[in-house]
């Protein structure tokens, strides 16, 4: 199930791709598409909105948000977003993430790879193919993750995925936490955001940047 939501944002890109691995003629290029995990969920309960240069996402169900124009088909690139989480109690386990390599996002055969963070200090890297989730890096704790340490604390975490010279590099708050061959992550395609259910988050600094091949 998809819901089209028009909000503005920014993507720093080089030459536009000549192909579209994902396209939906009814979706304006500047609009976000929201796709929920369950067709039984109410799309009105996954609400992205734009204000002051950031994206606010309030979720009931779990889903992804993406724009079909934000994609890379080859070469080196970086995807980055900073998440601020509101209202999470200590020990809250619902997570947020960025994804790359999005393909067939309008169909049951959707594919993408994501870097996920829990506010308990853990990250996970998985690849989704249809309804199957392939774990590339299992739940791992890392001190670079800012956690909900006390009631009322609003942690801010920057998630970055770089594809450089055939490697995919995963970073949390500027610290590289894992590197693996790009052939395993299948990184080319649409990039976007994903949020679990019952989250209140703000996303700042969202960017998709083509990198110089010398980096």
DSSP string, 57-113: EEESS-EEEEEEEEEE-SS-EEEEEEEEE-SPPTT----EEEEEEEESTTSTT-EEE
C-alpha to C-alpha distance for 25 and 213, rounded to whole angstroms = 32
Q: What is the pLDDT of residues 27-60, one digit of tens each?
A: 444 578 888 886 766 666 677 777 777 888 888 7
pTM of the model: 0.85
pLDDT band at 20 (very low <50, low <70, confident <90, very high): very low
State CA 113 to chain mean position distance.
9
pLDDT at 172 over 90: yes
Residue 43's pLDDT is: 65
Pick from 50, 149, 137, 31: nearest CA to 90: 149
C-alpha to C-alpha distance for 41 and 67, rounded to whole angstroms = 21
Q: Are 202 and 54 in contact (CB under 8 A)?
A: yes
The string over 79-101, giving b where at least 16 C-beta atoms fall within 10 Å of a residue's C-beta and e elsewhere, is bbbbbbbeebeeebebbbbbbbb
Residue 22's pLDDT is: 54
Q: Are 59 and 46 in contact (CB under 8 A)?
A: yes
Residue 142's pLDDT is: 98
pLDDT at 200 over 70: yes
Six-digit token string for 110 = 């959707």
* Domains, the chain: 2-210 (2.60.120.560)
Tokens 């209202």 identify what position?
87
């Amino acid at each position: 199930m998809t819901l089209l939501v028009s909000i503005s944002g920014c993507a720093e890109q080089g030459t536009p791709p000549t192909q579209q691995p994902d396209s939906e003629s009814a979706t304006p290029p500047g609009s976000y598409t929201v796709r929920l995990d369950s067709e039984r969920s109410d799309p009105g309960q996954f609400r992205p909105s734009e204000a002051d240069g950031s994206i606010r996402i309030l979720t009931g169900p779990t889903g992804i948000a993406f724009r079909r124009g934000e994609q890379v088909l080859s070469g080196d690139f970086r995807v980055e977003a900073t998440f601020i989480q509101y209202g999470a109690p200590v020990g809250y386990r619902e997570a947020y993430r960025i994804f790359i390599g999005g393909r067939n996002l309008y169909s049951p055969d959707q594919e993408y790879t994501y870097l996920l963070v829990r506010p308990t200090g853990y990250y996970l890297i998985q690849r989704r193919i249809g309804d199957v989730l392939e774990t590339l890096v299992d739940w791992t704790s890392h001190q670079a993750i800012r956690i909900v340490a006390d009631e009322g604390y609003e942690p801010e975490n920057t998630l970055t995925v770089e594809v450089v010279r055939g490697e995919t590099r995963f970073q949390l708050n500027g610290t590289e936490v894992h590197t693996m061959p790009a052939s395993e992550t299948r990184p080319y395609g649409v990039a976007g955001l994903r949020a679990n259910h019952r989250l209140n988050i703000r996303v700042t600094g969202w960017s998709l940047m083509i990198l110089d091949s010398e980096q």
